[in-house]
Structure 1
Amino acid sequence: MTNQEMVQNPKLLKKIISLQNNFTDDKQNCLYEELYTSKLLLPVILNDGDKISLIKITDIDGNDYIPAFTDWENFYLNSNTVNKAQAIVFNIYDYFKLLNSDSDITGIVINPYSHNLVLSRGNLKFLEKSQENIQKGEQISVGLPKEYPHLFVENCKSFFEKDSSIKSAFLLQTVRDNKISLLLVIETPNIEVVFSKLNKYAEKFLDNNQILDILSLDTPLGKNITKEYEPFYKRKN
């Protein structure tokens, strides 16, 4: 257990439960947005020669789905998973690649032994296409903040100095569907831990009407939108 990478998705779980209790398009879109930055656990079987076999879940109609677990607790709910499988930490982009490489896969199922949220191939294609559109600038415009939040930036720098895993950070402004928000793009291998701590810490340094999104630099979107900008924070070696 001590060697396991921390994988926790409290915000994703909250959005899954909210969507299942009362479906709306807005809640579904919020869930999709959260998936872009979530780490997930993919169960696999490691064969001789380090060859990997996917574990699939088949429904009563014979459709194959790939399971995705939001955390270790859900991963270990099924005894067969514990006994046979190992876990690979994946993100939604990795799942896109799996679906594109195997046309027989119908979709993915998140936490099949608890929440059992099914995302069909159509759902995932929509997610993938939406992300491509964002990267092409068709749905979102990105730039530097018009009103620079100096207090927020200085306090972020102080926060980052205390966490050696944070290497750099960018602050941008996004406009999507006429909604303006700040986007903090962080270079760290521990984005979920940083996100959880920073989200609570940063709120007190933002105006009540300001929206803050946090994104890992180690994503296609993070790398793409920051390539023309300089980080406001860069750890000194």
Structure 2
Amino acid sequence: MSEMKMENSRVPAEKIFNPDLKEAIVTMQEDNSKENVDKMITEVVKAKFILPAKVVPTTQAVTENGQTVMKQATQVQFRLLENQKKEKFFGLFTDTEELFKWQDTQNAQKVVTDFDSISQMVMDPHSGVVGFVINPFGKSVTFPKPMIISIKQQKDFNTLNKDLFKPGEQIKIGEPKDYPIDLMATLINHFSTEPNVNVAFLRMMEHSDKKSFLVVVDFIGDMKKIFDAIKETAQPYLTEDVDIVVMPVTMDLARNAINGVEPFYRKEQ
């Protein structure tokens, strides 16, 4: 059987088993408490998965300074699932035993992937895919696109902000005493040129004797790139006493912070 490995994957498909994830799925299906659901999601984020694929050799023409070089390349075509609504999903498998339950996959080429890679593929607006299904021919779990985006953004935020909050510290969120009109106007102007930001809210956050403007955004795309641009835009309006924290709307803290609050920016339809 031929095999292709995706970025950061060095484990052969035949050595992918995911016993902890399979156990977490069974436990969650028997008792879908928040604790069990969270445990299952944690295992999904940690897991390696198998995707059946077809790797097709292609030829590319690369032209630089008027000179064209023909190069060999490969194109990966993934086999997709389709529901009754004709919506398409990636099928992810915890092991080859689950993979081979799908007809005609015994001789398929296999791609080893992880949550980060597959979430980027699902979020690609050109993919035409609305989610993924783990073990679709066994004890399956379906992750629709909005949930994948939420999990991915929470994971990325926690990775980029490991030292933002101390365990057990008190966090206060409310309205700014004086709204930073100039900052808000500058951010609105910035967002008007940033197609990936849909909505933005402004709050005031205090923790560990620190004050920060809390900008909560509904967005799609590369979190680090988008958030760094927001912070850079806001920099002239910050002081030693007040800095800025940018947070995705998918975080529980962010959702609570903007409950009942009107956004200061909303992308025009």
TM-score by length of 2: 0.49
Is the 1:42–1:67 contact (alpha carbons within 8 Å) kept by the matching residues of 2? yes
Deviations for 1:172-221, whole angstroms, at most 9, x for unmatched residues?
xxx4899xxxxxxxxxxxxxxxxxxxxxxxxxxxxxxxxxxxxxxxxxxx
1:47 maps onto 2:56 in alignment = yes
- Residue matched to 1:7: 16
Is the 1:139–1:177 contact (alpha carbons within 8 Å) kept by the matching residues of 2? no
* In 1: Cα distance, 2:136 partner to 2:56 partner: 24
Structure 2 counterpart of 1:81, from 73, 82, 105: 105
* In 2: Cα distance, 1:90 partner to 1:68 partner: 9
- Residue matched to 2:29: 20
Q: Name the amino acid aligned to 2:115.
A: I
Aligned 1:191-230 pairs, distance under 5 A: none
Compared CA separation, residues 96 and 140, structure 1 to 2 (3 A):
farther
Which runs of 5 or more residues in structure 1 are unaligned?
143-174, 179-237
- Residue matched to 2:159: 135
Alignment length (residue pairs): 145
CA shift, 1:60, in A, is 0.7
Larger strand fraction of residues? 2
- Residue matched to 1:56: 80
Q: Name the amino acid aligned to 2:150.
A: F
Larger radius of gyration: 2
Which runs of 5 or more residues in structure 2 are unaligned?
3-11, 59-73, 171-269
CA RMSD of aligned residues (A): 2.7
- Spell out structure 1 runs of 4+ moving beyond 4 A: 1-5, 138-142, 175-178
Is the 2:14–2:96 contact (alpha carbons within 8 Å) kept by the matching residues of 1? no
Compared CA separation, residues 43 and 25, structure 1 to 2 (3 A):
same
CA shift, 1:48, in A, is 3.3
* In 2: Cα distance, 1:32 partner to 1:176 partner: 23
Is the 2:13–2:112 contact (alpha carbons within 8 Å) kept by the matching residues of 1? no
- Residue matched to 2:89: 65
Compared CA separation, residues 117 and 177, structure 1 to 2 (3 A):
farther
- Residue matched to 1:116: 140
Q: Name the amino acid aligned to 1:40.
A: F
